């Protein structure tokens, strides 16, 4: 028997959680599962990432989204400090 979850996982629910927990200055979340809520790509820019290695940044994001990650099929993230994001935007 199918039981619906109390709250659907959406681009906005993930984005809001990341912004709140990581003080993200820029956060893009895209549902890659055609609206099914089973796969997401994210770009997260946060000063909380300063001085952290890529793996450490990914762990921070994964910790924030632990509940959601246990319920979806795929999640891809790119995490940047504000300076890294600014430099990335400046290069074609």
Q: What is the pTM of this model?
A: 0.88
Token pair of 81 as six digits: 């400090």
Instruction: State the pLDDT at residue 36.
Output: 84
Instruction: State the pLDDT at residue 46.
Output: 98
What is the mean pLDDT of the segment spanning 51-70? 97
Instruction: State the pLDDT at residue 37.
Output: 85
pLDDT digits (tens, 9 = 90+) for 5-59: 446 899 999 999 999 999 999 999 999 998 788 999 999 999 999 999 999 999 9
Instruction: State the pLDDT at residue 52.
Output: 97
Q: Residue 3 pLDDT > 70, yes or no?
A: no
What is the mean pLDDT of the segment spanning 70-89? 95
With contact defined as beta carbons under 8 Å apart, do 82 and 48 qualify? no
């Amino acid at each position: 028997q199918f039981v619906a979850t109390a709250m659907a996982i959406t681009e906005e629910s993930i984005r809001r959680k990341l912004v709140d927990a990581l003080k993200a200055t820029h956060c893009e979340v895209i549902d890659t599962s055609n609206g099914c809520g089973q796969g997401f790509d994210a770009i997260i820019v946060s000063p909380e990432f300063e001085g952290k290695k890529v793996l450490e940044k990914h762990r921070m994001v994964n910790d924030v989204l632990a509940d959601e990650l246990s319920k979806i099929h795929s999640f891809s993230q790119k995490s940047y400090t504000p300076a890294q994001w600014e430099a990335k935007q400046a290069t074609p």
